[in-house]
Structure 1
Amino acid sequence: MAQVTADDAVFLAIDAGTGSVRAIAFDQTGAVVARASREWTHRPTPGHPGGADFDTAGGWSLISSAVRQVVGRLGNRQVASIGVSSMREGFVLYDEHGTEIFACPNTDGRARRQAEQLAERGVAARIYELAGDWVSITAPSRLLWLQQERPDVLAAARHLGMLSDWVVYRLTGEFTTDPSCGSSSALFDLAARGWSGELADAIELPRGVLPEVLECGAVAGAVTAEAAVATGLPVGTPVVVGGADTQLALHGIGARGGVPTIVAGTFWQTTFVSDEPLIDPGRRLRTLCGVAPGTWMIEGINFLSGLSMRWFRDAFCPDATSEGGSAYDAMERWASAAPRGSNGLVAVLSNIMQADAWHHAAPAFVGFDINSAEGFDRGTFVRAIEEAAAYVARGHLSILGEVTAGRALAAGEVILTGGSSAGALWPQIIAEATGLTVQTSMAPEATAYGAVRLAAAAVGAALAPVGASGRAVVPSPEAVAEYDAAFENWRAVYLAQLSATQASGIAPLFTPPGGLPYRGES
């Protein structure tokens, strides 16, 4: 194993998220030295409603550009090692020459009919039992779609990898995966932390396309001459297996069993780390492998809670930065003037997770008074968006308490990390809406830091996890009582909007393919 020798060496994280890619260099104290990001979108699949393709050529160009920008800011400092992270579920297929022939992001929903076929055949239930997730946005249904719609592509496939694996491949030319991101394919045997031959056979996937599984933190390879030209990184720089964004965020803050963590980014994940693969008997939450050997994570997902704020920023707050600071800082200042419950305004966005029948309503704001511009200004709408996310997290925490026999809630605390933890108002709303003390993390880039912790360890350096910021938000009993009533109102409005969405045919926020039919109020 290579060893860090230079005092000014840095470690680089490449984090390919749902809405953007980030390249961030950290020094040996864990401080950020340089960063760059590029936002991206995923193009719709022509002729296949709900489908989304991942642009590997364009994506690699954006990644390379961000990395070059960071390298250019380092001066004489050298990158000692690289850790890679990505969104989950998305994957890439390659032909015999290593050329990408198919790629999709996590939001791809083209395989609706195929997911339904897997459910009808009972395969979906077996996948959930072994792999911990439903077939809505995971690889089995998408691979079955390829069998039926693009058999030429599947016939030509010689390698499969998740999106973090694809970044590693672009840097090193090596095909690998890791348990944390690989398990998001729903082709893993969770207990074994490796590929399931049974599940591969169930969808007639040749086992030979599945890459070697390396534990997170293993060195996958080194930067090639071709990748060096694209990125500005030195040839031979070690590239370390990182993994899935949420699990790496948990690694970044040193999360362990006993206290749940909300990882609040584009999507929000309300998580609990365990030393066994806990499978929700109600098929609501999902379970994946953790970063450390012998660890797993069970989670509930807030669908696009962070992106909802970005949408509102872009659509309605073009002037937010005129006050100085970030647009989100200004939006939270406006929202802090609105009362708890947002004057009765309800944001209908993500639903509480039900993995096998996760139906969302059409997005809406319900209950505003057009005769009261003062009571329903932009700040009120921002607060309603933040409250909606907190209500969904509350629902997931309740389920985690049930599945873990109370262990997840015993401490009376929840950790909040990710981009949304940097705000002042959102942690307060979460504390009051859940009744739990919120400990915020000092690492808004927790995923990148988790990847860098692995990269540093692989070359003999040690970066400590980022602990709590010291800012503990303790809810008052009065605030909790107010939000108990507001939560019940949100739930009633959501269910009514969901029924109306189902009856009207209006497009919902998202309909994962292969879910069981809508069963009415639940």
Structure 2
Amino acid sequence: MTASGPVFLAIDAGTGSARALAFDIEGRLVAHASQEWSHAPVPGHPGGTVFDTDNGWNAISTSIRTVVDSLDGRPVAAVAASSMREGFVLYDADGVELWACPNTDGRARAEADDLVREGIADEIYRIAGDWVSITAPSRVRWIARHRPDIIARARHIGMLSDWVATRLTGRFVTEPTCGSSSALFDLRTRGWSEDLARAVGVNPGILPAVVECGAVIGGVTAAAAATTGLPAGTPVVAGGADTQLALHGIDARPGAPTIVAGTFWQTTAVVAEPLIDPERRLRTLCHVSPNTWMVEGIGFLSGLAMRWFRDAMCPDAVALAASRGTSAFALMEEWAAQIPAGSNGVIAAMANVMQADAWHQAAPAFVGFDINDAATSSRGAFIRAIEEAAAIVAAAHLDILSALTDGRALAERTVTFTGGSSAGTLWPRVIADATGLDTLVTPAPEATSYGAARLAARGIGASLPPMGHPDRIVHPDPSDRDAYREISARWHRVYRDVMSISGDDLPALFTPPGAARTAGAELPARPAHLAENLG
């Protein structure tokens, strides 16, 4: 292998950014580029967000061209895409995008409630393994109700990783990992359920063909070559969903739990059957390899909250970190590391533990800080509180995974930590202490993109090794582990109290992207003495 050898290109359309990364045959990262993006709200429809396909493609194609230009002539052997899940695109007969949403779109709450009342939500969960709160069925109904002209013109549908492949090749296909995040799949057959599609108003004729991950979809078109710098004809291979590709990148062992920590966090395990949670807490999707699935609990806002805190509260960290040759997040963790477990009493109410069929979230809030004591209620305390909240929710999801797998998921008393947040030094420590598990940190935070690159290689008969052994193992600290039992219990008490402050008539209630409050699921009553749980 020489420095002029071919590379495999991964494209990631994530919740917070568009990225392109090139890996060589040894699995080394050769070049990368990214552009952060956000998703505009929908006027008049609270919670709605739009995926801008034109600006999105500009961000992706610019990132690709930046990588291609930096390769100094090294050929791109194949390309595969990953993306956030749940978001999808509708096209007309000419392949022009009519409508698109990211995973953060939450406008279809009323339509989700309708699906619950009609009993269709129960059937979707039984067949597709997911509830209607963050998936296509309620969104399709919203489009039919508010934009029937789009439904009438729609001739193709694709998930967001499919959309990247369509932009590159002009072909319409999906694969099981992102396809199953639509909640229109039959998990057992790893393909579309035409019955579910008809039940929610989707014409089965617009559903694309399903291929397995790693299959060649087609070649880069002349039009895509002109915008990306990729040679026309470059093979484009079916990639998949971000979480599943991260597990593929690290070669996650069946049954062993993993926290995939990006903008949102997924606490997950690969299983050998389409295991459905009888209590409808977690969700199940198809995994990369045939005859494999994954069960996961989602922690909303975990990585996104840290990015928000950086931008809103730590603008000086970016320049200061650059002067030191480090990242703003690394500097923020230095501040947080000076704060003891428990964040000096500061609690971040961000994501709630997943309960797919009645998932309520508090309005994002910080509780317990002292405005008379800036030394203890510092930025470091708030940063640590964000990290502790994410770890506590992940710990709850691990407990559910253990129960669903009869203890197998935690039998080895370890959890793997991967994704962008795993690049930190404090967050793995907090996870180890909050969960009581040895925390295995992957050697690089690019697991999702590496999983896509491995599939790109597979498509042309090559092979990239799985990501190496963990470069760090963080063991729980016995004293902090004891402290986190009380810290976690207090966090759950306070979270319930913060959530109870908001009611159906208060716009402050935060429901996670696309998550509907289901019929018959009431918010808990406000406690008589809220302050009792703050001590």
TM, length-normalised to structure 1 = 0.97
Residue-by-residue CA offset, 1:218-255 (whole Å, 9 max, x unaligned): 00010000000010000000000001000000000000
Q: Aligned runs of 1:420-499 on 2, under 5 Å? A: 420-499=421-500
**Residue 23 of structure 2 corresponds to residue 22 of structure 1:** no
Contact persistence 1:362–1:506 (CA under 8 A): no
Alignment correspondent of 2:245: 248
Looking at structure 1, the residues matched to 443 and 403 of structure 2 have their Cα atoms a distance apart, in angstroms, of 29
Alignment correspondent of 1:368: 369
Looking at structure 1, the residues matched to 30 and 471 of structure 2 have their Cα atoms a distance apart, in angstroms, of 23
SS at structure 2 position matched to 1:110: coil
Looking at structure 2, the residues matched to 118 and 100 of structure 1 have their Cα atoms a distance apart, in angstroms, of 26
Alignment correspondent of 1:392: 393
Residue-by-residue CA offset, 1:339-396 (whole Å, 9 max, x unaligned): 0001111111111111111111111111111221111111111101100000000110
Deviation at 1:185, TM superposition (A): 0.2
**Residue 102 of structure 2 corresponds to residue 69 of structure 1:** no
Deviation at 1:46, TM superposition (A): 2.1
Q: Aligned runs of 1:205-284 on 2, under 5 Å? A: 205-284=202-281
Contact persistence 2:286–2:292 (CA under 8 A): yes
Question: Which is worse superposed, 505-514 or 122-131?
Answer: 505-514
Deviation at 1:506, TM superposition (A): 4.3
Contact persistence 1:258–1:410 (CA under 8 A): no
Q: Aligned runs of 1:21-420 on 2, under 5 Å? A: 21-321=18-318, 322-323=320-321, 324=324, 325-420=326-421
Looking at structure 2, the residues matched to 200 and 503 of structure 1 have their Cα atoms a distance apart, in angstroms, of 31
**Residue 5 of structure 2 corresponds to residue 8 of structure 1:** yes
Looking at structure 1, the residues matched to 75 and 146 of structure 2 have their Cα atoms a distance apart, in angstroms, of 47
Aligned AA for 2:98?
I
Deviation at 1:118, TM superposition (A): 0.4
Looking at structure 2, the residues matched to 507 and 128 of structure 1 have their Cα atoms a distance apart, in angstroms, of 29
Residue-by-residue CA offset, 1:81-103 (whole Å, 9 max, x unaligned): 00111100000111111111111
Alignment correspondent of 1:508: 509
Residue-by-residue CA offset, 1:31-81 (whole Å, 9 max, x unaligned): 111110011111112222211111111111111111111111010201000
Looking at structure 2, the residues matched to 380 and 67 of structure 1 have their Cα atoms a distance apart, in angstroms, of 38
Contact persistence 1:258–1:411 (CA under 8 A): no
Looking at structure 1, the residues matched to 174 and 220 of structure 2 have their Cα atoms a distance apart, in angstroms, of 17
Deviation at 1:515, TM superposition (A): 2.9
Q: Identity over the aligned pairs, expressed in percent?
A: 61
Aligned AA for 2:334?
R
Aligned AA for 2:60?
I
Aligned AA for 1:412?
R
Alignment correspondent of 2:533: none
Looking at structure 1, the residues matched to 43 and 477 of structure 2 have their Cα atoms a distance apart, in angstroms, of 52
The alpha-carbon distance between structure 1 residues 159 and 6, as it changes in their structure 2 partners (threshold 3 A), is: farther
The alpha-carbon distance between structure 1 residues 102 and 393, as it changes in their structure 2 partners (threshold 3 A), is: same
Deviation at 1:111, TM superposition (A): 1.0
The alpha-carbon distance between structure 1 residues 55 and 192, as it changes in their structure 2 partners (threshold 3 A), is: same
SS at structure 1 position matched to 2:34: strand
Looking at structure 2, the residues matched to 479 and 513 of structure 1 have their Cα atoms a distance apart, in angstroms, of 34
Contact persistence 1:254–1:467 (CA under 8 A): no
Looking at structure 2, the residues matched to 264 and 450 of structure 1 have their Cα atoms a distance apart, in angstroms, of 15
Contact persistence 2:270–2:287 (CA under 8 A): yes
Contact persistence 1:256–1:274 (CA under 8 A): no
Looking at structure 2, the residues matched to 54 and 27 of structure 1 have their Cα atoms a distance apart, in angstroms, of 31
Looking at structure 2, the residues matched to 276 and 195 of structure 1 have their Cα atoms a distance apart, in angstroms, of 18
SS at structure 1 position matched to 2:134: coil
The alpha-carbon distance between structure 1 residues 452 and 521, as it changes in their structure 2 partners (threshold 3 A), is: farther
Residue-by-residue CA offset, 1:174-213 (whole Å, 9 max, x unaligned): 0000000000000000011000011012123211100000
The alpha-carbon distance between structure 1 residues 503 and 221, as it changes in their structure 2 partners (threshold 3 A), is: closer
CA RMSD of aligned residues (A): 1.5
Looking at structure 2, the residues matched to 472 and 502 of structure 1 have their Cα atoms a distance apart, in angstroms, of 43
Aligned AA for 1:233?
L
Residue-by-residue CA offset, 1:379-424 (whole Å, 9 max, x unaligned): 1111011000000001101111111111111110000000111111
Contact persistence 1:113–1:513 (CA under 8 A): no
SS at structure 1 position matched to 2:315: coil
- How many residue pairs align between the two structures? 519
Where does the alignment leave 5 or more consecutive residues of structure 2 unmatched?
527-535
Deviation at 1:513, TM superposition (A): 4.1
Alignment correspondent of 2:531: none
Alignment correspondent of 2:532: none
Contact persistence 2:258–2:267 (CA under 8 A): yes
The alpha-carbon distance between structure 1 residues 458 and 521, as it changes in their structure 2 partners (threshold 3 A), is: farther
SS at structure 2 position matched to 1:192: coil
SS at structure 2 position matched to 1:34: strand
Looking at structure 1, the residues matched to 417 and 238 of structure 2 have their Cα atoms a distance apart, in angstroms, of 25
Looking at structure 2, the residues matched to 261 and 44 of structure 1 have their Cα atoms a distance apart, in angstroms, of 32
Looking at structure 2, the residues matched to 161 and 388 of structure 1 have their Cα atoms a distance apart, in angstroms, of 34
Looking at structure 2, the residues matched to 186 and 23 of structure 1 have their Cα atoms a distance apart, in angstroms, of 28
Looking at structure 1, the residues matched to 362 and 496 of structure 2 have their Cα atoms a distance apart, in angstroms, of 8
Contact persistence 1:15–1:21 (CA under 8 A): yes
Looking at structure 2, the residues matched to 279 and 148 of structure 1 have their Cα atoms a distance apart, in angstroms, of 31
Aligned AA for 1:518?
E
Looking at structure 2, the residues matched to 128 and 12 of structure 1 have their Cα atoms a distance apart, in angstroms, of 35
Aligned AA for 1:500?
I
Looking at structure 1, the residues matched to 28 and 507 of structure 2 have their Cα atoms a distance apart, in angstroms, of 47
SS at structure 2 position matched to 1:106: coil
Contact persistence 1:495–1:521 (CA under 8 A): no
Looking at structure 1, the residues matched to 264 and 469 of structure 2 have their Cα atoms a distance apart, in angstroms, of 21
